[in-house]
Structure 1
Amino acid sequence: MRVLLSGYDSRGGVEPLVALAMKVREHGVEVRVCAPPDEEFARRLAGVGVEMVPVGQAVRPLVTGAKPPTAKGLPERAAELIAAQFAAGADGCDAVVATGLVPAVAAARSVAELRGIPYLYATFQQLTLPTPHHPPRLTHAGLSLPPETDNRALWKLEAQNIDGLFKKALDTQRAAHGLPPVDSVLGYVLGDRPLLASDPILDPWQETADLGVVQTGAWIVPDDRPLPAELEAFLNAGEPPVYAGFGSTTPRGAQVAIEVIHAQGRRAVVGQGWAGLGLADDRDDCFDCFVIGEVNHQALFRRCAAVVHHGGAGTTTTATRSGAPQVVVAQHGDQPYWAGRVAELGIGAAHDGPVPTVESLSAALETALAARPRAAAVAASIRTDGADVAAKLVLDAMK
């Protein structure tokens, strides 16, 4: 038996699939992962012995601006992604689990329908799930919320927006494969029992009759890699540093984080990320700052006085599990939501806006550092069995 895990997303959306793949494989089931053709995704999956099927365009050049934008609109780009996902197929697979961008997920479910195999949708935060308890973001059409207070009405509008952007391309591909048009792209993507792969402390889901959500807990890969010897030496040479890194985002004003850490007389560990964050040219001889690439964040964050980051779901969960207080400088997407959750839980600070200044980030870091006792207490409550729970649900769906 074989499961196809499909995730057209950045690193934060692909990494949880690695966790699920490893757990599914422990049950004697083969796994294949559809992901963007970025070299780091291929290397990551090869490192755990999981087959990868590349689909669509590489994500990193699009996110970092290394690849200039085309004149094509979102519907046209989505049509290309849908066609690529259909072409990737699910040959030899017995179930599909899909996450990531809506058009890719809709195509992945269509492939499952074409093959007559079970399908499950997964999301790593609840913002994509229709519920009367919160409004949609309406990001797909670039719209702001209208003066409407009923969340169900807003979700209906969101479904219409998604249909306007993606339904024509999806139905065209489905027709070419002998499948009927879908009634609603959003409803089709969600399926009967969406999986919410987030921690119930960080992302508490309120039950609703509108949707049968199963919250599994976050899908986390246990990381036992040792830290590089040079980083270990740096950590052992003084007080716990403040970590600053922004993952696959390219935030404006990121260099301010290094200035603030030094201004407060603290040592720094700087994660380069996709933005290539590092020391300014005139700070190359700074002895109390260490620049890193890919390392074990689970081990590193436990050694840090605080973690300054962009607020991706994975980074927020890892930092929370470590017990390190956080400063979240949210940029877009679900990041403002995670920033708000960090502040509400009292385990750190949500920076006000995406562009920090020395003054604003200094105040946020001071707030976070004072939250260390609370952060340590919450860390003990974070679940670690999410991927195992999800793997069993996938296997049950295949019976």
Structure 2
Amino acid sequence: MRVLLSTIGSRGDVQPLVALALQLRAVGQEVRLCAPPDFQDWSERLGIPMTPIGHEVRNAVPLGSPGTPVQLSPERRRQLAEATVVTQFETIAAAAEGCDVIVAATALQIAARSLAEVMGIPYVFVAYCPTVLPSPFHAPPIMPLPGGQPLTPANADKRELWAANRQRFNDAFGAVLNSHRASLGLAPVNDVRSHIFTDRPWLAADPVLAPWPDPADPVGFQTGAWMMVDERPLSPELETFLDGGEPPVYFGFGSMSAPQDLGQVMVQAARALGRRAIVSRGWAELSTVDDEPDCLVIGDVDHQALFKRVAAVVHHGGAGTTTAAARAGAPQVIVPQIYDQHYWAERIDRLGLGAAHPAGAPTTDSLTSALKHTLQPSVGARARSIAAGVRTDGTEAAARCLMTVGTRNPS
């Protein structure tokens, strides 16, 4: 079986597909990846053929200040929507040639299902978080559609929010999607979001951390999170730092943008509580306030190996980082900015695994307060208890099911 795994987004969107690709390859399947060019070298080092799509996301227009999407004119929104759909139809069509199934991750996969229809092969949509998928039990995420959307009040009517979410998809992509479908001899769609998601989407999220909220209307398949097995050793410098005192606090914002002084705020919050700090540079190129020996700046690292040895993990709330910290039994502080990060912050708070920092840029005082709560022994004990129940077989479950899907006729 030959599988195309397709996504558009940052590392948090790409890495789960890489994890699934490695699992599929381990059981003898052929896999291709279609993702932004930022990840081509990484993918090919792992032996996964990749077709780059679009521009580098690392150098894309920033989101603005944390938690506040950039506001664009209607004309610019239309231009961006048309451009991404044109690119998707061209690039994914080439990448999918000869494939038996297409797996699309993230909500902006506008073209993949139509191309699967033309090719006569199955199509699977996967979300990494429940809140991506419509349900009256939760509000939509902060969508990365051109123009963005503001945070919604906690008491807002969720059905109305989802109706507005559906309309945003239709307004942004309906005309250009149906234009391409017409050129391929396909019937128009009147609900772009449902067309992308299908009526049986997969949910690649852990059932303990992120259960589907509606047993009366289940998703197609909840596999568990797709986490990479990373066998890289920690660097000698990092090992020396970890062995040099009490467990430090890890700080990282992944592939998010961040205020220039965020690294300094992080270190100051740790010092206010008498803690050492590890700061991950990430795409924001975070740095520290000085060269004192109580803090260390690191690059890419095996989170599973590191998180087992830290006192707490302070991060942006990406699905992968949240799950990795939970699996390691590390208490968390989540500083959410966009999309599903608000959901993960709320879940970590509700499960007693740490603190949800208010959205936006943290201050030394606000981060110190959240971290002080999270470093309580009771929170650490709760995190270690929950860790035992977090699944580790998400990619295996997905691969088994996908091999069955790939032998069926598309619905």
**TM-score band, normalised by the shorter chain?**
over 0.9
Partner of 2:121: 117
How far apart in 1 are the matches of 2:328 and 2:124? 30
How far apart in 2 are the matches of 1:138 and 1:51? 32
> Structure 1 residues 353 and 69 mapped into 2: Cα distance closer, same or farther (>3 Å)?
closer
How far apart in 2 are the matches of 1:147 and 1:360? 21
Displacement of 1:170 after TM fit? 0.9
> Structure 1 residues 64 and 132 mapped into 2: Cα distance closer, same or farther (>3 Å)?
closer
How far apart in 1 are the matches of 2:36 and 2:266? 30
SS at match of 2:224: coil
Partner of 2:9: 9
Partner of 2:67: none
SS at match of 1:3: strand
Partner of 1:272: 281
The unaligned stretches of length 5 or more in structure 1 are none
How far apart in 2 are the matches of 1:301 and 1:148? 35
Deviations 1:70-129 (CA, angstroms, capped at 9, x unpaired): 986233212211111111211010000001242xx1201111111010000000001121
Displacement of 1:220 after TM fit? 0.5
- Are the aligned partners of 1:130 and 1:211 in contact in 2 as well (CA < 8 Å)? no
Displacement of 1:69 after TM fit? 11
Q: CA RMSD in A?
A: 2.2
Deviates more, 1:120-129 or 1:262-271: 262-271
- Please tell me the residue identity of whatever aligns with 2:401: L
SS at match of 1:60: coil
Partner of 1:28: 28
How far apart in 2 are the matches of 1:228 and 1:353? 33
Of 205, 216, 223, the residue aligned with 2:212 is: 205
> Structure 1 residues 148 and 287 mapped into 2: Cα distance closer, same or farther (>3 Å)?
closer
- Are the aligned partners of 2:132 and 2:340 in contact in 1 as well (CA < 8 Å)? no
**TM-score normalised to the size of structure 1?**
0.92
Question: Do structure 1's residue 391 and structure 2's residue 395 form an aligned pair?
Answer: no
Superposition pairs for residues 77-96 of structure 1, below 5 Å? Answer: 77-88=80-91, 89=93, 90-96=96-102
- Are the aligned partners of 1:20 and 1:219 in contact in 2 as well (CA < 8 Å)? yes
Of 256, 259, 271, the residue aligned with 1:262 is: 271
> Structure 1 residues 266 and 143 mapped into 2: Cα distance closer, same or farther (>3 Å)?
closer
- Are the aligned partners of 1:64 and 1:274 in contact in 2 as well (CA < 8 Å)? no
- Are the aligned partners of 2:336 and 2:359 in contact in 1 as well (CA < 8 Å)? yes
Question: Do structure 1's residue 353 and structure 2's residue 359 form an aligned pair?
Answer: yes
Question: Do structure 1's residue 239 and structure 2's residue 246 form an aligned pair?
Answer: yes
Deviations 1:305-332 (CA, angstroms, capped at 9, x unpaired): 1111111111000011111111111111
- Are the aligned partners of 1:251 and 1:331 in contact in 2 as well (CA < 8 Å)? no
Length, aligned pairs only:
391
The unaligned stretches of length 5 or more in structure 2 are 65-69
Partner of 1:224: 231
- Are the aligned partners of 1:9 and 1:101 in contact in 2 as well (CA < 8 Å)? no
How far apart in 1 are the matches of 2:139 and 2:275? 40
Displacement of 1:166 after TM fit? 0.7
SS at match of 2:5: strand
- Are the aligned partners of 2:279 and 2:287 in contact in 1 as well (CA < 8 Å)? yes
Partner of 1:316: 322
Of 357, 366, 374, the residue aligned with 2:382 is: 374
Displacement of 1:188 after TM fit? 0.5
How far apart in 1 are the matches of 2:166 and 2:201? 16
% identical aligned pairs = 48
- Please tell me the residue identity of whatever aligns with 2:287: G
SS at match of 1:28: coil
- Are the aligned partners of 1:5 and 1:98 in contact in 2 as well (CA < 8 Å)? yes
How far apart in 2 are the matches of 1:305 and 1:146? 33
Partner of 1:48: 46
> Structure 1 residues 32 and 46 mapped into 2: Cα distance closer, same or farther (>3 Å)?
same
Displacement of 1:229 after TM fit? 1.1
Question: Do structure 1's residue 167 and structure 2's residue 174 form an aligned pair?
Answer: yes
